[in-house]
Amino acid sequence: MYSSSENTTCIQIFSKAPVEGYCKTRLIPYLGKKETVQLHMDMVQKTITTAKKLNNVDVQLWCKPSKQHVFFQKMAKQNALTLHDQDGESLGFIMNNAAYYAADKYTNIIQIGTDCPYIDTDYINSSIAKLSDETKVVIGPANDGGYVLLAKNQYYTEMYDDINWGTSNVLQQLEANLQNLNIKYSKLESLNDIDTFDDFQKWEKGCYAIPASVKS
């Protein structure tokens, strides 16, 4: 169900449920299952907090495998956002279906995950500011060859086609799709996301306390 809000910008946050062995799996050998789940929950909350600081936007949390998970229900109550189930087998299908859901109501759709703690309000506002009658898509690149943010002011289902999700070719293939479709796009500064232990160790000091057992 759509919100009754008059806001024209929607931020869609995509997240997995904080279940041991299900989220941030590449960090488990280094942090342990429980610590990894806690890290994931902290990153989800940080992403939501950042999005909620923005003015005149609606925030949606797109949940996997189900919005009924107690953590997602807690996030909705604490942060005044709407919950939605992710629909689709690949990330492309999931993001495409979410964009289709919002396209009739919102002028601008901003899609982000919860793996990039470096995204702040200025970064998101920059993506909105760059959207125009000419520039239809704005990409926030990730340093690993993917992206951390995707903003658009028009619905394009073909932009997600033939992308090898989870590889270092994602950004390159996305740009190729946009070029083939003659869609003008812009890019923001590249950011790191937190997928590997190396990414985790490079995270800004003071943002997260690395357990003593991991440091040793």
Q: What is the pTM of this model?
A: 0.92
For tokens 């009739």, the residue is: 104
* 85 located within any domain: yes
Q: Cα torsion at 157, 59, 201, 204 (round to 10°)?
A: 120
* 216 located within any domain: no
- pLDDT 10s digits, 158-204: 999 999 998 999 999 999 999 999 999 999 999 999 999 988 988 85
* 214 located within any domain: no
User: What is the pLDDT at residue 203?
Assistant: 81
- According to DSSP, the β-strands at 137-141 and 147-152 are antiparallel
* 4 located within any domain: no
- pLDDT 10s digits, 63-115: 999 999 999 999 999 999 999 999 998 999 999 999 999 999 999 999 999 99
| Average of per-residue pLDDT across 5-26 | 94
- Cα maximum dimension of the chain: 54
- According to DSSP, the β-strands at 185-187 and 82-85 are unpaired
Domain of residue 142 covers 9-200
User: What is the pLDDT at residue 4?
Assistant: 54
* 186 located within any domain: yes
* 181 located within any domain: yes
* 145 located within any domain: yes
- Whichever domain contains 126, its CATH number is 3.90.550.10
Count structural domains, the chain: 1
Tell me: pLDDT of 206 over 80.
no
* 170 located within any domain: yes
